[in-house]
Structures are given as C-alpha cells and as structure tokens.
Amino acid sequence: MRSTRWKAASRAAIALAGAGALAASMALFATAPASAGTTLGASAAEKGRYFGTAVAGFKLSDSAYTTILNREFNMVTAENEMKMNATEPQQGQFSYGAADQIVNHARSRGMSVRGHTLAWHSQQPGWMESMSGSALRQAMLNHVTQVATHFRGQVVAWDVVNEAFADGSSGGRRDSNLQRTGNDWIEAAFRAARAADPGAKLCYNDYNTDNWTHAKTQGVYNMVRDFKARGVPIDCVGFQSHFNNESPYVSNYRTTLSSFAALGVDVQITELDIQGASASTYRSVVEDCLAVARCNGITVWGIRDSDSWRASQTPLLFNSNGSKKPAYDAVLAALNNGTTPTDPPTDPPTDPPTDPPTTPPPGPGGCTATVSVNQWTGGFVANVRVTAGSSALSGWTVTIALPSGATVTNAWSANRSGNTGTTNWTNVAYNGQVGAGQSTEYGFQANGTAGSLSPTCSAR
C-alpha cells in the first residue's frame, strides 16, 4: 500500500543496522553477482541500490513466476501475507506460515525482504475492526511488537504505517479507527517497532504523494519533518507510485524525492506500476531515483501483468507470458547508464512550487467513478476514484453492484448503504467538495471475489 541499508546478504545488513552514514547505505551492494549489468537486481546493486518486487506466496509454486523472480530481483515485499488480517486473524493468535514461506524463499536465494505492513486502516482482521479507543490502541501496539519481533533479523525494513493521510486538499490525516485513538498513533507505532526490532529501518508508506505540489504530499512531509525534529524513530519514506491516466507521473517527482531525502531519511519507490507500461515513464522514474543519493531502491508491484492488481492496465515489466517488455529494456538501460549521485541538498524547498498540479481535463457535467481492485484468496480491497466533470461537486453518490458472495467488511472515506448486492456510497464531510476535473477517493474491503465491478456516479 511502501528503507534500509540494503544488501542481499541479510547477515551484513543486520551488522550495519544503526550506522547512520549514507556511505554505508551505498556500499552494501558494491559486490554485484556475476550477472551484473544483465538483470534488474544486479544492475541496481552496481549503483548501491536494490530492485525488488511484490510476491504472492501462493505463486511460488509457479515455476515461470519463480524463474523470473529468482533471476531479476534482489528485494522482496510480501504482497498480502504480512498484513494485519494475515498475521493476527484472531486476537492474540498469530499466523506466520505464509509470510515465512516468502521470507525463506527470498533469504535462501540471497534476496533481502521489506516488511509490509505493521499498522494500516485497511485489511484489518474482523476482531480489530470492531474495536476502538484505548483497547484498539493497545491491540495495535501489541500487533506491531509481536510481528516485528517474529521477523527480527530477517526483515531489513518495515512499512510501519501505511496510507494514514487523506486525499484531497486538506493535507490532513485520514479518518480511521486508528486515527480516532489519538493523533499520536503513528508515532506510537514507530516507537513500538523500534523497540521490537532496533536493527530494521522504519518507513512511512503512502500513495498519491508523488506530486510535490499536492496537499497530501506536503502533509506527509510536515509529519516527517516533525518526527525528525523530535527524535521519533523514522528512517525512510515509501512512495507507492501507482501511476495511471488519472494519477500520472509528474515532472516534479524528483523534487519530491530529493526534498524528503534532505530531511535525513532514505526514500524508496515501493509499489511502482505504470498504466500501459510506458517505457519512457519507467525510465524517467528510475533516472529520478538514481539522481537522488538517498533513493536507495525501487520495487515494482508484481512481476508479470497477470500478477498485477491492475492486470487490465498491463502496468508491469513482463507480459503475462513472462516475456520482457520494452519498459524492462528501458529500466535496465537506465540502471546501467546511471551514475552514483552526490548527497541531496541540505535546504529543500519548504513551499510547493507555483506550477499547478497535473489533473485530468474536465469531462461532462456530473461525475464519473473508476475502481481498482487488489484481490487475494477470499477477499479484496477496492479503491474508488470519483472525478468531477466540467462543474464542481458539492456532494456525490456512487453505486456499485457486488457479485454474489461478496460482503463489505470495512470502508473508509465514504458513507455506505448496504454490505451486499447493490451498495450505495456517499461522500463524508471532508471529500464532498470536488473541483471541476478534480478527483477524490474512498475505498472498502470485502470478503469474496470482486469480479468485474462497474461503479456509477451521480452528483448531488
């Protein structure tokens, strides 16, 4: 949903944990494998970086999948197996089998592992969804402590908190059950993670934070700056970078990376996928990372297009049959041609540039809704984007017909009517006002299979 001083050999990574020098971070991949220059991971390692991918545990039995995984990548992120509902399905009863499978596969082949994620408003187990207040806070902290302790020494970094900021113009926190336990919940999670695993790097991870001019980006930036000033243990910031027609790559992306890096944190591109797999855009993203000294790694969110949560957008580096796409060649060329940069500037811009954010052109009056789905066995998360047409919205309603057997278990940033069948969604107080051509998002988690969701939107 989204780190450390990276090295394929975990033993060395642990030994170096806690060292503050960027030089150590850059040196860890200095010794590249024999295939240097011919694979993504080896080429990234030559630049002191990693190139990773998200892995689904059930696909490790697919030999075509694992052939590419083992050949190309030197970092692994579990796609769903380390999330809260997977690791603590019943309160106090932890389940690590699926996550351990991924970790063991990666480490036995010299890959490092990023942990994803310790605390999130989404994909919570049912027992946690019904909790609130001090009981929820304590349960969250216990979850962070137990999971980080279990993987201590095996995971080089954690996305401690995922997607805690709201979309839109406020730049503030997302309303969630965790946020309602108190505004210090993120800080508390980071402190618990540091106590549980002092050797892991601790990251904040989010989406739609790529554009330096956006309020959400500035909100996260201000939190990180505050944490660094007060000594809250934060080591890195993850930029999911799910680029598509509605959330495109922007020319100030490098400014965003360098500005965060100048706060004294590492920056990583954690869930990269690009609609249509534009070779030029993939190359630009890699070049932007190489240009920022503390951008020490890139993770693509899946291997083949068929493995992607956005499979219909063909956003990855390999076709569904496992063949390399032009985007793969562009990424490899960028990694091989890149040079190790100097340190980032010490004085980042504190105010957004004057250029307005890139937005899709206004459509007809009213509104439209699109949906992206992350499906796993037995459940899914749907993120719905509401876009105003040629006139601003003062409120909106989205209708989604769920397939038989699908039941909504959790939702955020919208009011809902109905958990099964035809569901109606309306804006909450902070996201009803949407400017012409602008967008806002809400999401929900459900049991069952998503099928083909076709949301419709009406202004109100």
Active site residue ranges: 271
Residue corresponding to tokens 């039995």:
61
- Find out whether 425 and 416 touch, Cβ atoms under 8 Å: yes
Distance CA 155, CA 82 (A): 11
Amino acid occupying residue 351: D
Strand pairing class (439-447; 422-426): unpaired
Residue 458, SS3?
strand
Q: Rounded to the nearest 5°, which phi and psi values hold at 59? A: -90, 0
Burial per residue of 426-455, b for 16 or more beta-carbon CB atoms within 10 angstroms, e otherwise: ebeebbbbbebbbbbbbbbbbebbbeebeb
Prior bond of 409 cis (ω within 30°): no
Q: Which two tokens stand for residue 450?
A: 């998503």
Whether the Cβ atoms of residue 285 and residue 248 lie closer than 8 Å to each other: no
Residue 207 tokens read as: 């989406």
Strand residue runs (E) in 302-431:
367-376, 379-388, 396-401, 407-412, 415-417, 422-426
Interatomic CA distance for residues 65 and 369, integer angstroms: 33
Contact 267, 239 (CB under 8 A): yes
Among residues 195, 194, 173, 193, the alpha carbon closest in space to that of 184 is found at 173
The residue count of the chain comes to 460
Provide the token pair at 243. Answer: 């680029």
* Burial class of residue 413 in the structure, from the number of CB atoms within 10 Å of its CB (0-12 exposed, 13-18 middle, 19+ buried): buried
Inter-residue contact 385 to 246 (CB < 8 Å):
yes
Asked if 303 contacts 65 with a C-beta cutoff of 8 angstroms, the reply is: yes
| Structure token digits, residue 325 | 């796409």
Give the whole-angstrom CA distance, residue 178 versus residue 170.
Answer: 19
Query: Which residue in the block uniquely carries the two structure tokens 């494998």?
Result: 33
